[in-house]
A and B are shown apart, each in its own frame.
Chain A
């Protein structure tokens, strides 16, 4: 699915077209797994872009190809104008990546991990020491500078992975499940840092996440990937409209869930949530008065009524059908 905006190629941080990738495994019983089946993705420079999809959808494969860690079987991909296969070294100088399950050499301490990878990006002398200190401070790793990596908690490991991903001041940053398994307060801080990276340094960020709220909060645009293909893309609001999964009327009723609600015209779904009933309707302006009239006719008392848009979770569920 192409980008909805017509941008010059120089304005694109990522330009991937028809990427295919099949993994083969097993000698006696060869198995093929088609991870990508013609995925195309264009991301403008300076955007925060979310890649959402179920497990095995192809998110990590797509990011890994863009990060030069995997070679695609077919199609082409350019990052900042450089071909990810033929000009991989130029791409690597300008991008970085952090993943939620990152791991580093067990005996190294946070400043040593950062210094090692900093040197791999060509940093040295005072510039290296300064950058390591900046990132230790930014990711609040100061009190743990003498702790060996395998002694760090999951949250600290993830913060270290995030710090490592910023070492070379990347123009494009890939974040694979950056807040996976983190405490809410740490997740909030990481999200704030992601937003400030784009704001202060113009970094293009592509992140994969399972957390719809995170994607809605951070991303200018979101793409849904499933079965190795991009199914839909757009701003969160536009996606909800595009997929036409309606709006949700949340009702507290007495009796709590009257029979026959799901059979009403324009009602797409009825769900029980805590002490409320959530009725998803195609057009709230048209269906809400009809719904209230019907409830009145059934002698059902309406104690509370709220209307909200479907969230991305519901878009996601809809696309997964």
Chain B
């Protein structure tokens, strides 16, 4: 070929670029499903995924249930404790799936391929979250089965609507936590993984996981008011006859979740932009 211009002009002359069809809701769903499907394959193929789904939630429910027996707690107090156990396990499993949307690519050093494609945060977040919700429901079902058969705990005791609100709150909290974990990992690399999850446990502790927030020191009580899970636990426990610490806790929980969801989305978007600027996005692929 004598020159680029001639060669390229000849090519341009007889070949037209492929037409790009306008994109709609189907494409939105397809991109979202890509992440959900990948998480499903990974969950199916790795025996340790089954382990985290059954072993730790099972151990948590059994050990806490036995503790309530040892302390001879009333059925009402047992419900208080076990509601916290369910919340923690459900949130942990579900948020992990959201984080996997980014972690799989970081662990396999394939990060750049994902962000080379025309995808947005909503695709990876919602896709992975859907699988997280599915796995969270499996965890809940397992814990409900152990709780009711071994310790007589009725998870429907607060009513189906209250349970639905509680689970929705747990899953929303998981989405928020998962997005923040993704943002931290993209911002600081894999060394941020453990500290991100340490922060998750700290937040859950502040949310009054096995105790009312009133037993926390003053500063911690103030902090707990900024955590949506505090309100969802409060609303669910109210269904078992405990005096709610907040007025309209479910409403507050959802409002706060909406706010944090927007913030988490922004944080992840900012982290991705920063990693494109610093080159970390490429380093995570090397």
Contact = CB atoms under 8 A, between A and B. Distances in A.
Contact of B31 (A11, A47, A68, A119): A119
Interface in A1-59: 5, 7, 11, 23-24, 43-49
Interface stretch (A120-128, A132-140, A186-194, A270-278): A120-128
A124 B26 contact: yes
A112 B37 CA distance: 9
A195 to B, nearest CB: 11
Interface stretch (A99-107, A251-259, A301-309): A99-107
Contacts of A96: 116
Given A69-B276, A120-B114, A202 B17 contact: yes
Contacts of B281: 69-70
A123 B278 contact: no
Q: How large is the interface on A (under 10, 10 to 19, 20 to 34, 35 or more residues)?
A: 35 or more
Nearest to A94: B20
A171 B14 CA distance: 14
A171 B104 CA distance: 29
Given A45-B8, A46-B12, A104-B113, A235 B3 contact: yes
Contact of B7 (A47, A103, A106, A149): A47
Contact of B12 (A11, A92, A119, A201): A11
Contacts of A92: 116-118
Contacts of A23: 278-279
Interface string B1-30: 111110111111011111010010011001
A97 B282 CA distance: 13
B108 A104 contact: yes
Interface of B: 1-5, 7-12, 14-18, 20, 23, 26-27, 30-31, 33-34, 37-38, 41-42, 45-46, 104-105, 107-110, 112-119, 123, 273, 276-279, 281-282, 285-286
17 contacts: A23-B278, A24-B278, A46-B8, A46-B12, A69-B116, A92-B116, A93-B20, A95-B116, A104-B110, A107-B41, A107-B42, A108-B41, A120-B123, A123-B30, A164-B113, A220-B8, A235-B2
